[in-house]
Amino acid sequence: MDIFEKCKRFTKAAELIETGNYPYFKPLSGNDGPRVEMDGRSVIMIGSNNYLGLTLDPRVIEASKKATQKYGTSCSGSRFMNGTLDLHLELEEKLAKFMNRETALIFSTGFLANLGAISALAGKDDYILVDRSDHASIYAGTQTASGATIKRYRHNDMDHLERIISNLDKAKGKLIVSDGVFSMEGDIVNLKRMTEIANKYGARIYIDEAHGLGVLGEHGRGACEYLGLEDQVDLVMGTFSKSLGSIGGFVAGSQEVIHYIKHSAQALMFTAAPMPAATAAAIKALDIIEKEPERMKRLNYISSFMHNSLENIGFDIGHSNHSPIIPLYIRDDEKTMYFWKGLFDAGVFTNAVVSPGVPSDQAMIRTSYMSVHSDQDLQKALEIIQNIGKEINII
C-alpha cells in the first residue's frame, strides 16, 4: 500500500471547510490582545492563553527588539554546543529564583521541555504514571522514554492512581506526571492526595505549570504554590507562551536533577537554542509579573466572574475552578461546530475541541480569559454566548 493513501482518505477537514464550519488555522491580520482582526473585522478573543496580556506590552516588545539588535535573529546552534547566550543563563537564574527552586533549564518550546525532561529521566527500569488528561507534550515524553513502563490513571482520580501504583514493582523508579492546571478542563490537580501517595510508595512528582504560572498562587508560581505544596513537588515545568508573552519552556528543580537533564535530554542537545528575542521577552515579562501583582488579581477577578456567569446562564463547565480556562461542554461534535460558527459569526472567537482530540461525549468550546479584557467586552461576549446557546438549544 502507498503510504500516502491515508492522506487521500482524510476528508473530514475538507468537508468542514466546504460547509464554513472549519474552526482551525484561522489567520489573524491584527492583534490588540482582547480583540483581534479576523476576516476583515474585529472580534472578541476569548480563546487565547495570553493570560496577563504581556504579548503586546511595550516593555516586552522593546526588550525583544534590543536583544535582536545585539545578538541577531537566531543562536544558530544548540544550547549544548555553540548556542548558549548569557541571556539564557540570566533567564534560568531568574526562573529558579522566581519558582523558589535551586536551578532551572530553558528549552526552545514548552513541548520540548516536557519531551526532553521526561524522556531523559525515565528508562527501562522505571514507571511513569500519567493523568489521562495530561498535555500531549507529556505523552510525547513518555513515548520517547527508552523502555519505561507507562501507566495511565483516570483524570484527577487519586484512588485509581493509588490502585495502580500499589501493584507496581517496589524496586523500580516511579515518576508521577500531571498538569497543575489542566489545559482543556481548567481544573486543578488533586496535589494533596498525590503527594501522600507519592510519599507512601516512594515516587517522585513532576508538575506541568504551563497554565498555572502567572495565574495561581500568591506570587504566581502556579498550582503548587496555590495549594501550599511546593516543597512536596520534585520538578516543575512551565512555558513562556502563556503568561510570559513569549515562546519557550523550562524545568526547575534540584541542581543534580537539572544537571542530569541538561546532559541527557535530546530535545535540548539537538535543537537550536531559544531565540534571543524570545529569551529577552520572557525576562522582561517575568520582571513585570513580579512588580505588577495587580495583573494577576484582575485575571483572578475575571476568572471568577466568568465562571459564575456562565454557570448561572446554564452552561455545563465541568470541574473548572479558579483558572481562566472555562470549558463549555456541548458533548456532541456536530453541535460544537455549529456553536463555534455561531459565536464566530456574531463576533466572538473561541476554540472548538472535538474528537479525536477528546471523546465525542467530551466535545467542548474551550474559552480562556486575559487580565486585559474590559468589562464591556466580557458582558458582550456573555450576551452572544447566551444568545447562540439558546438559538441552537444548548441551554
* Domain map (residue ranges) of the chain: 5-51+293-391, 58-291
Q: What confidence category does residue 360 fall into, taking pLDDT thresholds of 50, 70 and 90?
A: confident
The yes-or-no verdict on residue 356 having pLDDT over 90 is no
Q: Give percent of the chain above pLDDT 70.
A: 100
Across 249-267, average pLDDT: 98
pLDDT at 386: 98
* Helical segments of 128-206, H only: 136-144, 158-166, 191-201
Mean pLDDT of the chain: 97
Is 278 buried (19+), middle (13-18) or exposed (0-12) by CB count in 10 A? buried
Q: Give percent of the chain above pLDDT 90.
A: 96
C-alpha cell at 341: 460558527
Would residue 341 show up in a list of annotated catalytic residues for this protein?
no
DSSP state of 356: T
Residue recorded with cell 507512601:
200
Q: Which residues contact 247 (CB under 8 A, 6 or more apart)?
A: 108, 109, 240, 241, 274, 275, 278
Distances (CA, A) of 155 to 177, 179, 391: 12, 10, 32
Would residue 211 show up in a list of annotated catalytic residues for this protein?
yes
Q: Which of 88, 174, 211, 284 is catalytic?
A: 211
State CA 133 to chain mean position distance.
Answer: 12
**Model-wide pTM > 0.85:** yes
Is 292 buried (19+), middle (13-18) or exposed (0-12) by CB count in 10 A? middle
Phi and psi (nearest 5°) for 207? -115, 130
Nearest to 248 by CA among 272, 278, 270, 271: 278
Q: What confidence category does residue 124 fall into, taking pLDDT thresholds of 50, 70 and 90?
A: very high
Specify whether the backbone of 228 is left (phi greater than 0), alpha (psi in -120 to 50) or beta: left
Range with the lowest mean pLDDT among 129-133, 169-173, 304-308, 354-358? 354-358
What CATH topology corresponds to 58-291? Aspartate Aminotransferase; domain 2 (3.40.640)
Cα angle value 63/108/241 (rounded, 5°): 60
**Sign of the dihedral defined by the CA atoms of residues 53, 357, 238, 219, in that order:** positive
Q: Which of 88, 135, 174, 242 is catalytic?
A: 242
- Rounding to the nearest 10 degrees, give the CA dihedral for residues 271, 273, 279, 282: 30
The yes-or-no verdict on residue 14 having pLDDT over 90 is yes
Q: Which of 108, 119, 137, 183 is catalytic?
A: 183
User: Amino acid identity, residue 43?
Assistant: V
Distance CA 135, CA 3 (A): 28
DSSP state of 373: -
pLDDT at 359: 86
Across 367-392, average pLDDT: 98
Pick the CATH number of 5-51+293-391 from 2.40.10.340, 3.40.50.2300, 3.90.1150.10, 3.40.50.300: 3.90.1150.10
State CA 354 to chain mean position distance.
Answer: 18
The yes-or-no verdict on residue 64 having pLDDT over 90 is yes
pLDDT at 310: 98
Quick: pLDDT tens for 31-57.
Answer: 999 999 999 999 999 999 999 999 999
Q: Which residues contact 31 (CB under 8 A, 6 or more apart)?
A: 37, 55, 56
Across 135-159, average pLDDT: 95
Nearest to 342 by CA among 385, 376, 311, 312: 385
Is 28 buried (19+), middle (13-18) or exposed (0-12) by CB count in 10 A? exposed
